[in-house]
Structure 1
């Protein structure tokens, strides 16, 4: 039998991307897919939902699942829901990628590593290696991490620049079970445009507002109209207290205009068409007070 006669094995499955907040999980998902699907900021709790990024190749279809950063310090209903989502994403996956920051292995990394399932491949992606030119520091990190648990592979990467990300993708693909694709080859995510619109607006809140308000806010899409060359979106920014309203609006409405402009530009890139976006601010006290109220807004 010649090489050309050898049947091509196709692999398909889910790859969970997990880790503590701000290690670059969402940046890695976006880099893998080649499209901005998962929102990013330098604040914890930016990612609140499970979101899939689909990579289709001739030999494999990889469904990468971004997860909320596992919270080890803060309590409350929202963090309980986020932590449960992070653990569930790992338990449901065929392969797990634990992302850590190259600048140091922390007790939070260790706690998450020990929570991961022992019956499937777990790869360690050491992100932001550009920030640590000294090899000795990376070796020290690897020693600490592998003392905590065994990893199938340890890969230093830079999600920001793409360094060694193709290698990580290959290593994940090789460990998926054999099977046909689960999604259409042109699919990039399992989420709707309506969901992505809410997330991109929320990203701007995390980037443009102060320390407190982003964590007390969420975005609710009230109207999403899909026309041949236009998306019409009306969205409400929900906040906890009346006193937070002027912070979101800014002087003369300047801040909310900037948030709307930046969100609209990102949405037009993502959807490939013009977007008409209107933002409103609404006080909704207690929207995140209980797990039941969180479910009403699409959490968990």
Structure 2
């Protein structure tokens, strides 16, 4: 990251909403852009539930990326909250990145255009996961998007695995940001506090180590953190919907929760550079994901 101020260029700063369908690879791309593991990554769709600001300095510009839940329509109250989070990010942004996996049809993009047709916010199409396609397939997909070229300001092919597109994308983003003093200390990578980051890393462990149903009907509350120079002691509660799910999370002889805890500690230690003591408990709150009061108690403020 280029964090040195260049006095020959005007300072720029702006918010860039990163949107796309669930599991399009938004968080993976953001971690690649910032060069750190900050955003929650899971192979399972709809893992991201709240907006998260991730800051990248580039060519005298401060880019505040806003990671968002996937664009989708479902009736559950938590899903409605997630969609609202994405739409708020779009509404507040100076620029939008639409993440379009190369294997997708243009149908999701067409739905996105309908969502923003009354807005004048410019957007870039990021053709992601190009390492999974042949050159012929990539060129064919680019040609498909050309019929929409009056809508987007740029189309950037991108591969995290092959490290393709990062500089081109950052250069293009900077062109569309307003001239403005930096909004945050250029040394920080996110506006999230340590409590929220640890919560997301524990959630990531749930998604990684438990069967499909459990993570979607579970969440994490950080009860308290005791920060010391060499160790953080983290006390957290996993909230789930049913007694049967609680038993599955704990597992026979507590094997499942030990597996989740070990993986969560690994992620937390990699992030913090400290030793982590993690104390996990599991509670049942029936219908928490369908109840506004319960959602707000967990941290989803409407």
Q: Taking structure 1 as the reference length, what is the TM-score of the superposition?
A: 0.93
Q: How does 1:277-292 map to 2 (within 5 A)?
A: 277-292=278-293
Q: How does 1:235-246 map to 2 (within 5 A)?
A: 235-246=236-247
CA distance in 1: counterparts of 2:7 and 2:278, whole angstroms: 53
Q: Is the 8 A contact 1:22 1:44 kept in 2?
A: yes
* Partner residue in 1 for 2:258: 257
* Partner residue in 2 for 1:55: 56
Deviation at 1:295, TM superposition (A): 2.0
Q: Is the 8 A contact 1:98 1:113 kept in 2?
A: no
* Partner residue in 2 for 1:200: 201
* Partner residue in 1 for 2:114: 114
Q: How does 1:1-300 map to 2 (within 5 A)?
A: 7-72=8-73, 74-116=74-116, 118-135=119-136, 137-148=137-148, 150-300=151-301
CA distance in 1: counterparts of 2:78 and 2:49, whole angstroms: 9
CA distance in 1: counterparts of 2:164 and 2:91, whole angstroms: 28
Deviation at 1:146, TM superposition (A): 4.5
Deviation at 1:162, TM superposition (A): 2.4
Deviation at 1:227, TM superposition (A): 1.5
CA distance in 1: counterparts of 2:191 and 2:105, whole angstroms: 32
CA distance in 2: counterparts of 1:161 and 1:232, whole angstroms: 37
Change (3 A) 1:60 1:6: closer
Q: Is the 8 A contact 1:231 1:273 kept in 2?
A: yes
1:23-45 Cα deviation digits (max 9, x unpaired): 11000111111111111111111
Describe the SS at the equivalent of 1:276: strand
Deviation at 1:220, TM superposition (A): 0.5
Q: Taking structure 2 as the reference length, what is the TM-score of the superposition?
A: 0.92
Q: Is the 8 A contact 1:97 1:122 kept in 2?
A: yes
Q: Is the 8 A contact 2:125 2:152 kept in 1?
A: yes
Describe the SS at the equivalent of 2:288: coil
Q: Is the 8 A contact 1:110 1:145 kept in 2?
A: no
When the two structures are aligned, how many residues end up with a matched partner? 294
Describe the SS at the equivalent of 2:196: helix
Q: Which moved more, 1:155-164 or 1:188-197?
A: 155-164
Q: CA RMSD in A?
A: 1.8
Deviation at 1:60, TM superposition (A): 0.8
Runs of 5+ unmatched residues, structure 2: 1-5
Describe the SS at the equivalent of 1:288: helix
1:73-94 Cα deviation digits (max 9, x unpaired): x321011111111111011111
